[in-house]
Chain A
Amino acid sequence: MATILQSAVGSEALIHLHGLTREYASRAGAVRALDHISLTIERGEWVAVMGPSGSGKSTLVNILGCLDQPTSGSVRIAGTNVHQLSRQELDRFRSETIGFIFQQFHLIPYLTALENILLAQYFHSMTDEEEARRALASVGLGDRATHLPSQLSGGEQQRVCIARALINQPPILLADEPTGNLDATNQEIVQEHLRTLHRAGHTIVMVTHDPEMALLADRIVDLHHGRIAAERRAGVTPQK
């Protein structure tokens, strides 16, 4: 793993996608979720991916997170062509490099907030309860450590999800509609956490439907029918 990360050091972009295509088989024939996408994301950059439902946003994030495989094209993350990694190397790469923030939170229902964070540590290396408690406290949930996900509000669950995503200090954070299921107050809390992470130097790729949320990013990528329809700096009118 050390060699994988070492190769990332240098001037190369952190994420480099080239000719990325993802097709799914269906009864009606092959459905192309991504169609020859090429994209480069720099270290420390915050990129918002926008687009209508079915445009391929989540597919893109899943491929970036090594949770899905492209049908063709290459994905280069931190200098590593993830296509060339074995399953075991991919598992290791994922736990070292990527943190996930899901719209549906995806916490393990039978583990407490603290244990959900410990789980990420457990699969990464070894558990450190003090560090996990600090992570929970950093998202304002120090007093909710022993609560099960079902005993937490949606906003609180998302904050546990953020703490879990950060516990192993991955260089890349992938957020799929991180505020999609939250009320205005919790949206603001999560936005603030993401701003802090960005300031701390994390690279964030965020899928969102929310134009206000997208404005927090450095760059906005608009997807349409699996293709990049437009790219712009946040706050700038889209250019085709």
Chain B
Amino acid sequence: MKRARFSLGYIVRRSLVHRRVRSLAALLALTVSAAVATTLLTLYVSLNRQLHQQFRAFGANILLTAPNGSTLPPETLATVRAIAGPESRIVPFAYAVAQTTTGAPIVVAGTDFTAARTMDSWWQVSRWPDAAATTTTVGSPVAAMVGTRAQNFLHSDDFSLTYNGRTLTLHTAATLHTGAAEDSRILISLAAFTAWTGQGASTLEVQASGSAAQVEALLHRLRAALPGVQVHAVRQLVESEGRIVDRTRSLMLSSLVLIALTVGICVLATLTASVLERRRDFAIMKALGSTQHQVALLFLLEAALLALAGAAAGYLLGSLCAFGIGAWNFHATIPPLWQAAPAVLLLNLMVALLAAGLPMRILRTMEPAMLLRGE
């Protein structure tokens, strides 16, 4: 006797290959469902990070100021950096009211251009002064960034300002337009400002990442560590960020559930039709003496194989979609979410087994004779 290599797995393989158009349609449906689930899950998980990153473009959400026109203690910047963590951005500002050659008062701000450029990326600057140009060299004018409204008080690119009897010659290295108070100011490097006025930074603008609660906790820590310094939250920004993040997450979650349901129903319909159209095969196998379990296993195995292949292809496709959406919408890299893989596989298996199991239950209740008659 020669045992033939004939098993349920072999029958399933022959069925899938022979009915390749149907099989591909079912595989496509399961791939799409897995891809949609992967994309949405990946985006949902990375949404917090992406939104907070977007909000960072709006500038500082915490302000630290010295009381009564004094300057901040020199160690303040290091203390804030240590408490806020390396993710946070900090920009120091020092202010003085100087006079032009015509006697007009004008606000001069000293800052760290490199840090300001990172945090206030929404500022419209003709050309950011490079780090070398912001340091003072003997005999050469200091590079200045001049606000668009402040330009009205100056008559050439090189100009002089006087503060407490000390004159500083400046050269317009760039123009600045923000639509805010900075437009009326002249910005120079903090080092040049301190050398000219003898004053250090009086304000630190901090861009802290995290949720509203995390920012609030940071405020408490800063107040505790710097008792002589006024620490304020930029309330509008912190609260708006919290609200928008919460609402966006809810919206995303609702969309995820709705889309998953819609895709699930479509897949269910496709697979159910695929099983039901083979009810005659079911009846023939019954006529040949197969048990309910054998036939059920055959159909379920087929559905599970398609679900497995669909989940693998869909996960790759979904990760690619999430990456594309991240690059397109957030200008950020959204890496594949490995944790989504088992969830997507489980989801696909559930949908496929449900889609195969439901018609199987119907077929089990029908006599094979009725199915052979085409009912």
Interface residues of B in 259-300 (CB under 8 A from A): 280-281, 283-292, 294
Question: Which residues of chain A have C-beta atoms less than 8 A from B368's C-beta?
Answer: 62, 67-68
Question: Which residues of chain A have C-beta atoms less than 8 A from B19's C-beta?
Answer: 110
Mask, A53-74, CB within 8 Å of B = 1, is 0000011001101011100000
Check: A156 CB closer than 8 A to any chain B CB.
no
Mask, A112-126, CB within 8 Å of B = 1, is 000100111111101
Q: Distance (Å) between the CB of B288 and the closest chain A CB? A: 5
Closest to B291 in A: A91
CB of A106 within 8 A of CB of B289, answer: no
CB of A91 within 8 A of CB of B289, answer: yes
Check: A109 CB closer than 8 A to any chain B CB.
yes
CB of B372 within 8 A of CB of A102, answer: yes
Q: 22 A-B Cβ contacts within 8 A?
A: A62-B367, A62-B369, A62-B372, A65-B369, A67-B287, A91-B290, A92-B289, A100-B287, A104-B372, A106-B287, A108-B281, A110-B15, A115-B6, A115-B14, A118-B6, A119-B288, A120-B289, A123-B285, A123-B288, A127-B4, A128-B4, A164-B288
Closest to B17 in A: A110
- The 8 Å CB contact of A108, one of B2, B284, B292, is B284
Mask, B348-375, CB within 8 Å of A = 1, is 0000000000000000000111101100
Q: Distance (Å) between the CB of B5 and the closest chain A CB? A: 8
CB of B290 within 8 A of CB of A123, answer: yes
Interface residues of B in 1-43 (CB under 8 A from A): 1-4, 6, 11, 14-15, 17-19
- The 8 Å CB contact of B367, one of A69, A92, A115, A122, is A69
CB of B14 within 8 A of CB of A110, answer: yes
Apart from A115-B14, A123-B290, A130-B2, 17 more pairs, CB < 8 Å: A58-B373, A62-B372, A65-B287, A67-B368, A67-B369, A68-B367, A88-B292, A91-B286, A94-B287, A102-B372, A108-B285, A109-B18, A110-B18, A111-B11, A124-B288, A127-B4, A132-B4
CB of A67 within 8 A of CB of B288, answer: no
Closest to B284 in A: A106
- The 8 Å CB contact of B1, one of A62, A110, A115, A128, is A128
Report how many residues on chain A are interfacial, defined by Cβ distance under 8 Å: 42
Q: Distance (Å) between the CB of B116 and the closest chain A CB? A: 70
CB of A129 within 8 A of CB of B4, answer: yes
- The 8 Å CB contact of A96, one of B4, B6, B289, B372, is B289
Q: Distance (Å) between the CB of B136 and the closest chain A CB? A: 85
- Which size class do B's interface residues fall under? 20 to 34
Known A68-B370, A118-B4; judge A95-B14 contact (CB<8 A).
Answer: no
CB of A126 within 8 A of CB of B3, answer: yes
Check: A240 CB closer than 8 A to any chain B CB.
no
CA A99 to CA B265, docked complex, whole Å: 40
Check: A131 CB closer than 8 A to any chain B CB.
yes
Q: Distance (Å) between the CB of A29 and the closest chain B CB? A: 18
Known A67-B367, A69-B367, A110-B17; judge A127-B287 contact (CB<8 A).
Answer: no
Closest to A174 in B: B287
CA A150 to CA B18, docked complex, whole Å: 12
CB of A94 within 8 A of CB of B369, answer: no
CB of B1 within 8 A of CB of A130, answer: yes
Residue of B288, B368, B370 contacting most chain A CB atoms (<10 Å)? B288
Q: Distance (Å) between the CB of B282 and the closest chain A CB? A: 11
Closest to A148 in B: B18
CA A58 to CA B375, docked complex, whole Å: 15
Q: Distance (Å) between the CB of B237 and the closest chain A CB? A: 64
Q: Distance (Å) between the CB of B303 and the closest chain A CB? A: 16
Interface residues of A in 189-222 (CB under 8 A from B): none
CB of A124 within 8 A of CB of B2, answer: no
